[in-house]
Amino acid sequence: MGDVIAMMFNTAVFAAALRMATPLIFAALGGIFSERSGVVNIALEGMMLTGAFTAMFVTYHTGMPWVGVLGAMLAGGLIGLIHAIFCVRYRANQVVTGTAINIFAGGLTVFLLRFFFGTAGTSPSVTTIPDITLPVLSSIPWIDRILGRQNPLVYLALVAVVVVHIVIYKTPWGLRLRAVGEHPRAADTVGVNVFKMRYISVVISGALAGLGGTYLSIAHLSRFSEGMTAGRGFIALAAVIFGKWTPLGALGACLFFGYADALQMRLQDIGIPTQFMNMLPYVLTMVALAGFIGRAVGPKASGEPYIKG
Amino acid sequence: MGKVLEMRAITKQFPRVLANDKVDFDLNHGEIHALVGENGSGKSTLMSILYGLYQKDGGEIIVRGQPVQITEPRQAIDLKIGMVFQHFMLIEPLTVAENIVLGSEIRKGPFLDHKRMVSEVERLSEEYGLKIDPNAKVADLSVGLQQRVEILKALYRGADILILDEPTAVLTPQEVEDLFEVLNTLKSKGTSIVFITHKIKEVLAVSDRVSVLRRGKKIGTKSTAETNEQELAEMMVGRVVLLRVEKGPAKPGREVLRLDGVTVKDQFGHVKVNNVSLTVRSGEVLGIAGVEGNGQSELVEAIAGLTKVAGGSIHLSNQDITGWSPLRVRRAGFGLVPEDRHRRGLVLDYSVADNLILGLHGSKPFVHNGLRSEKKIAEHAEELIRDYDIRPPVASQPARALSGGNQQKIVVAREFTQNPDLLICSQPTRGVDVGAIEFIHQQVIAQRDQGAAVLLVSAELDEVLSLSDRVAVMYNGEIVNVMPIEEVTEHKLGFLMLGGRPEEYDANEVSGSADQD
Ligand SMILES: Nc1ncnc2c1ncn2[C@@H]1O[C@H](COP(=O)(O)OP(=O)(O)OP(=O)(O)O)[C@@H](O)[C@H]1O
Ligand SMILES: [Mg+2]
């Protein structure tokens, strides 16, 4: 028992939690943009997977992981665009479209992996984004062991949370975003272009999810492997709901899920089944949706296509 | 003076209806122009065309002497046209200031200038006497205040042509007074106003001119000073309208509804209905007058089984129905015209025919061998559409496509044809045109005369006075007084509705009657 307690407060576990949370944070921020604009995005999983593959692929050919990051964001954004065209222009069912994208991305990445590398399962190893030491943080005791030395993407994720928070709550565009997902017709009557807002938001959503995927293939590991997102897109979506569609809330949820993940790896050693911890995000999401800790109410128009006139 | 707006020969064809048929409409500088007409006569459509929400199929629009094309709300806003919609266009989780500036935000660099947003709203609200807290969340505001936000939205965008689509339908009498004051202030500052309403009294009270639409056609425009209630009603409906209900004396029979010390609390534990005891007999109409929000809604919901009762008991035809499910209450002989037809009375996406059998959809003639009997459902719909003059008479249309008044007729038709022992009508004529009001009122009396016990809840004094046999006043969750209709005056009701005690009124009456006219 003492072991477990010690482990729970171990700085190494905290540092690992942050790393596990990073891909979730990017994808969850993406989910927030999409949902806030009124488009349900369960395609986060597929977008992450596409991002993970593209990052590896571009890095493999250029040798420059940051170019890989860019490529992953573009690829994710492209998938976002496809999602938006179906959901906004053709008013397709958003859950069905999202599911289709997930299946499509799963198949496509496997196909491309075999086509280009002739391998099944995993890609060759590529250059990764190396960890860096932050001068200020690394001189503060205790904090330094968690935040002092990490991957740049980890820091970027934390910065992104702040940026997204500011965009959503402090800018005119963010105000419109919140309006469009809540009551699109009202936004329309004051001259806000609902369709444009939704297109942009879903594309951003895809780019961010793609960025989340990047972390998996060229930072956390140095290769792409089939289905390597392993449900993280859905966990990110759970974090969006658990965090009540706010960037800070989602950050908290991602950190929590990341922590559970990090702890789980340690607890395995002392015989606590993994499955238990893996269930956690979903169980908590159901708890949140059921309203045990203050009701989680999403943007009202989320999931509904907007029809003018 | 001069015209700020001219609409010429505006035509709009919807898939099944010609909503506007070569309608001419104009607006003078600084006037209040009332636009009236039956439900579905095309008022909202005409104004939505002006605001760029609908595209006209014919005609032209001239704003301040210039012919214009308005295909987007943005263009209307740029032409300084503002519109307050029949169903508010507010984003509930956002603050008042955020709602007001949305789409035309005040910026500081790339950011919202929150301080100036708030001060701008404060300045406007000061200038026009529209008091409001800029930082309040819209969801927390009363309907009257939400409407203020809507008006401020238009003013913030510099509107000097302001359209208000049935602004009074959802307001309490006091709020209506306040609104009229605001409209007069606006008018004195040079704003030109289009004011849509169903209430002829309001037209006479506040407008300079009035235009009447009927079935998509413009019937005429009159100077308000040169017309009267009866003439306007006839122009609207196309026939002579009885503005007073004709009814014989009530013949009260057995006791149908009995409430003993009923108390209802809301989800936070606040008492909404406090120890109310009442009886309603068959063959009589008991009217409950009161400013909205004094517990009437909760009382009705408690009787209908939609809310838990915290104390006391409810008897329907000598059965204790306290705590019964809504369906069980209905089956015990209960009909309800709910105050909010969208939330409780209709499923907007269902067809008119299906809406006409809601609640009966599982019972006899409409179900045969466990399957829907489409023939019976269609026959039923046809019959009710005819009897209740629901327009357009198309049973297969979704209820959403009908105008507000016609939606209300669906609910009334469904509930009344059940011939329930107890009929509760909550704001039965809200948003309904004069012709339909006349009809619904006649039906209420017909139900009474067939032996139904009718409980009428209304914020309209006229309605309470003309239909009730006895009147109860509800204030702050309590029944203040129950009196036979002969003892009721409008003045006394108003006094009691605002929290006056019956004893005080009688005392004041004696001393104050000398200076009454
Ligand atoms: N979007 C729409 N699609 C089809 N028909 C419509 C639509 N909007 C309105 N109509 C029809 O056009 C006619 C005019 O409707 P409108 O809403 O303008 O009436 P209104 O005068 O405002 O009535 P009310 O007093 O009940 O609000 C009605 O018959 C209505 O059913
Ligand atoms: Mg209307």
pLDDT in tens, B195-246: 999 889 999 999 999 999 999 999 999 999 999 998 998 999 888 877 777 8
Beta bridge partners of B453: B422
Model confidence, pTM: 0.82
B196 and B310 co-located in one domain = no
B229 and B279 co-located in one domain = no
Pocket of ligand 1 (CB under 6 A): B 14-15, 17, 19, 37, 39-45, 86, 392, 401-405
**Tell me, what's the pLDDT at B141?**
87
| Cβ contact B23:B41 at 8 Å | no
B261 Cβ under 8 Å from any chain A Cβ? no
- Cβ burial B162-175 (10 Å sphere, 16+ → b, else e): bbbbbbbbbbbbeb
**Tell me, what's the pLDDT at A1?**
59
Question: Domain of B10?
Answer: 3-237
pLDDT tens digits for range B326-346: 999 998 999 999 987 777 889
What six digits make up the tokens of B53?
């929400």
What six digits make up the tokens of B364?
């006899």
- Cβ burial A132-144 (10 Å sphere, 16+ → b, else e): eeeeeeeeeeeeb
pLDDT tens digits for range B429-454: 887 888 888 889 999 999 999 999 99
- Cβ burial B473-483 (10 Å sphere, 16+ → b, else e): bbbebebbbeb
B164 and B34 co-located in one domain = yes
Q: For ligand 1, pick from B10, B11, B17 the residue to mutate: most ligand atoms within 8 Å of CB.
A: B17
Cβ–Cβ gap A176/B102 under 8 Å: yes
| CA–CA gap between residue A238 and residue A257 (Å, rounded) | 10
Beta bridge partners of B382: none
Q: Which ligand is nearest to the CA of B39?
A: 1
What percent of chain B is modeled with pLDDT above 70?
Answer: 98
B390 and B427 co-located in one domain = yes
B375 within some domain: yes
A187 Cβ under 8 Å from any chain B Cβ? yes
**More confident position, A91 or B292:** A91
B227 and B263 co-located in one domain = no
| CA–CA gap between residue A248 and residue A29 (Å, rounded) | 10
Residue B514 reports pLDDT greater than 50: no
State the distance from the centre of ligand 2 to the C-alpha of B184, rounded, in angstroms: 23
State the distance from the centre of ligand 2 to the C-alpha of B165, rounded, in angstroms: 7
What is the chain A residue with the closest CA to B105? A172
Q: Which amino acid is at B190?
A: G
Coil, helix or strand at residue B388: coil
Chain B positions in Cβ-Cβ contact with residue A309 (cut-off 8 Å) = 53-55
B371 and B465 co-located in one domain = yes
Q: Which amino acid is at B515?
A: D
B490 within some domain: no
Query: Using 50, 70 and 90 to split pLDDT, how confident is the model at A236?
Result: very high
B250 within some domain: no
pLDDT tens digits for range B98-131: 999 999 999 999 999 999 999 999 999 998 888 9
Q: Which residues contact B211 (CB under 8 A, 6 or more apart)?
A: B25, B33, B34, B35, B36, B218, B220, B221, B222
B242 within some domain: no
B187 and B272 co-located in one domain = no
Residue A78 reports pLDDT greater than 80: yes
Q: What is the mean pLDDT of chain B?
A: 90
**CA atoms in the 13 A half-sphere facing the CB of B424:** 24
DSSP A291: T
Nearest one of B263, B155, B195 to B37, comparing CA atoms: B195
Q: Specify the residue with its C-alpha closest to ligand 1, atom 18.
A: B42
A182 Cβ under 8 Å from any chain B Cβ? yes
- Give the mean pLDDT of A149-167: 96
B101 within some domain: yes
| CA–CA gap between residue A22 and residue A208 (Å, rounded) | 11
B293 and B224 co-located in one domain = no
Cβ–Cβ gap B105/A178 under 8 Å: no
CATH of residue B442: 3.40.50.300
Q: Looking up tokens 């507000």, which residue turns up?
A: B404
pLDDT tens digits for range B171-181: 877 788 889 99
Query: Using 50, 70 and 90 to split pLDDT, how confident is the model at A289?
Result: low
What six digits make up the tokens of B369?
């061998």
What six digits make up the tokens of A41?
């995005």
B491 within some domain: no
Residue A293 reports pLDDT greater than 70: no
| CA–CA gap between residue A247 and residue A240 (Å, rounded) | 8
A36 Cβ under 8 Å from any chain B Cβ? no
Cβ–Cβ gap A190/B104 under 8 Å: yes
B210 and B320 co-located in one domain = no
Cα distances (angstroms) measured from residue A224 to each of A70, A153, A306, B68: 16, 17, 38, 59
Domain count, chain B: 2
C-alpha A197 chain-centroid distance? 20
Q: Which residues contact B254 (CB under 8 A, 6 or more apart)?
A: B281, B282
Q: Which residue, B172, B206, B237, sits at the end of a domain?
A: B237
Cβ–Cβ gap A175/B102 under 8 Å: yes
B56 and B172 co-located in one domain = yes
State the distance from the centre of ligand 1 to the C-alpha of B87, rounded, in angstroms: 13
| CA–CA gap between residue B19 and residue B54 (Å, rounded) | 11
Cβ–Cβ gap A187/B103 under 8 Å: yes
Beta bridge partners of A209: none
Domains of chain A plus CATH, in order, are 2-290 (1.10.3470)
Q: Which residue, B174, B208, B237, sits at the end of a domain?
A: B237
Cβ–Cβ gap B77/A191 under 8 Å: yes
What six digits make up the tokens of B393?
């008479």
Q: Which residue, B178, B210, B237, sits at the end of a domain?
A: B237
B197 and B315 co-located in one domain = no
**Tell me, what's the pLDDT at B513?**
43
B375 and B231 co-located in one domain = no
A135 Cβ under 8 Å from any chain B Cβ? no
Residue A152 reports pLDDT greater than 70: yes
B243 within some domain: no
| CA–CA gap between residue A104 and residue A110 (Å, rounded) | 10
State the distance from the centre of ligand 2 to the C-alpha of B198, rounded, in angstroms: 10
